[in-house]
Amino acid sequence: MAVRLPGQPGYDAATAVFNLTAPPTPAAAVVVSTVDEIREALEYARSFRLGVRVHTTGHASPTQRPMSSALLLKVRPSGPVEVDASRRVARVPAGTLWGAVAEAAAPFGLAAPHGSSGTVGVVGYLLRGGMSYYGRQLGVATNLVRAVELVTADGSLVRASAAENPELFWAIRGGGGGFGVVTSIEVELFPAAKVITGSAFWAGEHAPELLREWLRWSEDAPWEATTSLQIMNLPDLPEIPEVLRSGPVLSVDGAVLAVTEDGVPLAQAQADELLGRLRSVAEPVMDSWALTKPSAVLEAHMDPEDPVPIAGDHLLLTDLDSAGASEFLRVVGPGSGSPFISAGMRQLGGAYSVADPGGGALSSFAGRFAYSGAGLVVDDSSSAAVEEHCSVVRSALAPWDSGWTVPSFVENWRQPQRHLSDSSVGRVDAVRALVDPDGVFAGDVSPGASAGGLAGGSVGDTPVF
């Protein structure tokens, strides 16, 4: 294990993140893969009175508080993904990306509850809720976690599951972090013969009618279907099809799952019901929806594969009526002057709304739609424009704001966020007090997930111990 200080070779690699708007600047950084390396890192942090922070890909780097008094651990996989097909469970080393899990599961006719990108880290996504394109049928992704192994502040290797350390198992699933360094996670897989997935794009002028049809369909949409709608103002880059960068476009993407081959006709009919409505409004300028293999879901949302500087905001919305739809289009639609490259809503409801009796601290989402909007930040001017427009959108959508958020969708640690009830916060805090009594990992706790001051960001990155 080689701890790197600012300016030393290896420091930049250990602190590299996907979201370039918030590069971390810890007091020291180290890449770890094994339990022994993690223990050495914890001992180093304690000897220099540094807090400990953990990351993998840095997709959510803006949600991390400043860490000038912390040792940052970048976790890399210790081995491959192991699939137990008979149990339909994958054992995933920490640091693994979702693309590797999807690839490992596919030969067995199984799929995983991943999000819209194969470059996202498995552990952070799962333990912060996880919103997959199978979620309306399967529920919150963290409900499919079956076991977690982690190194706690005192260097102990602990396994948490329904049978082992059940209270820690409850807390770590959506509890907001700060429990230790996860070394592996076991996640339940599910049968997936085929999916109908893809993206369709329309010229922005059709946005009002398309949004209206999508909202009407979502009122009683089948649980097998999970979709999102976006208004996009894509940059003029050669890798983006010209038809998508000639002006605002509206896109609808998602997936409809067929668990078995026998279920394909029903899934196709369910997809056709939505797409038929939308295509009757206007012909798409580009359309990739098709019956295909489950791994293609990772390509449907067209998330960037390379690091980008992005800033934005997130809300969980209640039912969006016609007035709410009008406000949404007024502030992010064509002619709004929005600086966002993307602003949209992920469809919730279905199993997302059903609390799992065996679930963790977060097992359902309190809302009908997950709003997120984001813009490219290339200089101070664009940063200010995006931040200002986040406030404009938040104000416009306030009547439909549920007051709750999805941890994995939150864009910035300073933004309002809440995903736990007051009673759950107290219960999670009690678990943290047992596994990390000195607050070694306190800086990694999500805002609103602890009753302590640090979780609200009031004391920055000052170590507690």
Same domain membership, residue 272 and residue 170 = no
Q: How confident is the model at residue 8, as a pLDDT?
A: 96
60 - beta bridge partners? none
Buried b (16+ CB within 10 A) or exposed e, 120-157: bbbbbbbbbbbbbbbbbbbbbbbbbbbbbbbbbbeeee
Strands 70-75 and 51-55: parallel
- In terms of residue numbers, what domain contains 145? 82-191
- pLDDT: which is higher, 129 or 204: 204
Q: How confident is the model at residue 219, as a pLDDT?
A: 94
Helix (H, G, I), strand (E, B) or coil at 337: coil
Same domain membership, residue 185 and residue 206 = no
Is residue 391 packed enough to be buried (19+ CB in 10 Å), middle (13-18) or exposed (0-12)? exposed
Which residue's entry shows tokens 């199993």?
A: 351
Q: Which of 164-168, 236-240, 291-295, 317-321 has the lowest mean pLDDT?
A: 236-240
Same domain membership, residue 208 and residue 171 = no
The total number of structural domains in the chain stands at 2
Same domain membership, residue 143 and residue 275 = no
Q: How confident is the model at residue 238, as a pLDDT?
A: 82
Same domain membership, residue 257 and residue 177 = no
Same domain membership, residue 372 and residue 269 = yes
Examine the pLDDT at 4 and tell me if it is beyond 70.
yes
Residue type at position 59: H
Same domain membership, residue 352 and residue 319 = yes
Angle, helices 322-332 vs 380-396, to 10°: value is 170
Same domain membership, residue 223 and residue 104 = no
Quick: pLDDT tens for 330-353. Answer: 999 999 999 999 999 999 999 999
Read off the pLDDT of each residue in 141-159 and give the average, rounded to a whole number: 98
Separation CA 400–CA 394 (nearest Å): 10
pLDDT band at 455 (very low <50, low <70, confident <90, very high): very low
Question: Domain end: 360, 382, 409, which one?
Answer: 409
Examine the pLDDT at 458 and tell me if it is beyond 70.
no
pLDDT band at 247 (very low <50, low <70, confident <90, very high): confident
Q: How confident is the model at residue 454, as a pLDDT?
A: 44
Same domain membership, residue 143 and residue 124 = yes
Considering the domain boundaries, does residue 208 fall inside one? yes
Considering the domain boundaries, does residue 393 fall inside one? yes
89 - beta bridge partners? 84, 188
Q: How confident is the model at residue 459, as a pLDDT?
A: 35
Angle, helices 264-281 vs 207-218, to 10°: value is 150
Return the percentage of the chain with pLDDT > 90, whole number: 86
Separation CA 156–CA 169 (nearest Å): 16
Separation CA 450–CA 441 (nearest Å): 12
Considering the domain boundaries, does residue 15 fall inside one? no
Same domain membership, residue 186 and residue 232 = no
pLDDT band at 51 (very low <50, low <70, confident <90, very high): very high
- pLDDT: which is higher, 215 or 305: 215
Question: Domain end: 146, 168, 191, which one?
Answer: 191
Quick: pLDDT tens for 423-449. Answer: 999 999 999 999 999 999 999 999 999
Considering the domain boundaries, does residue 145 fall inside one? yes
Separation CA 18–CA 45 (nearest Å): 25
> What is the CATH classification number for the domain harbouring 117?
3.30.465.10
pLDDT band at 306 (very low <50, low <70, confident <90, very high): confident
Considering the domain boundaries, does residue 35 fall inside one? no
Mean pLDDT, all residues of the chain: 93
Quick: pLDDT tens for 11-25. Answer: 999 999 999 999 999
Quick: pLDDT tens for 210-230. Answer: 999 999 999 999 999 999 999
* Neighbour count for residue 420 (Cβ, 10 Å): 21
Same domain membership, residue 338 and residue 229 = yes
CA distances 201 to 117, 223, 253, 269, 342, Å, are 19, 23, 9, 20, 13
Considering the domain boundaries, does residue 27 fall inside one? no
Considering the domain boundaries, does residue 405 fall inside one? yes
Q: How confident is the model at residue 377, as a pLDDT?
A: 95
Read off the pLDDT of each residue in 283-301 and give the average, rounded to a whole number: 92
Residue 163 has what DSSP assignment?
S
Examine the pLDDT at 453 and tell me if it is beyond 70.
no
Read off the pLDDT of each residue in 368-373 and give the average, rounded to a whole number: 96
Q: How confident is the model at residue 461, as a pLDDT?
A: 52
Separation CA 145–CA 328 (nearest Å): 35
Same domain membership, residue 303 and residue 397 = yes
84 - beta bridge partners? 89
* Neighbour count for residue 277 (Cβ, 10 Å): 15
Read off the pLDDT of each residue in 282-298 and give the average, rounded to a whole number: 94
Considering the domain boundaries, does residue 273 fall inside one? yes
Radius of gyration of the chain (CA): 22
Helix (H, G, I), strand (E, B) or coil at 410: coil
Question: Domain end: 137, 168, 191, which one?
Answer: 191
Residue 438 has what DSSP assignment?
T
Long-range contacts, 429-435 (Cβ 8 Å, 24+): 431/167, 431/168, 431/170, 431/171, 431/172, 431/175, 431/179, 432/171, 432/178, 432/179, 434/168, 435/152, 435/153, 435/158, 435/168, 435/179, 435/180
CA-angle at 416, arms to 411 and 421, nearest 5°: 110
Q: How confident is the model at residue 301, as a pLDDT?
A: 74
> What is the CATH classification number for the domain harbouring 307?
3.40.462.20
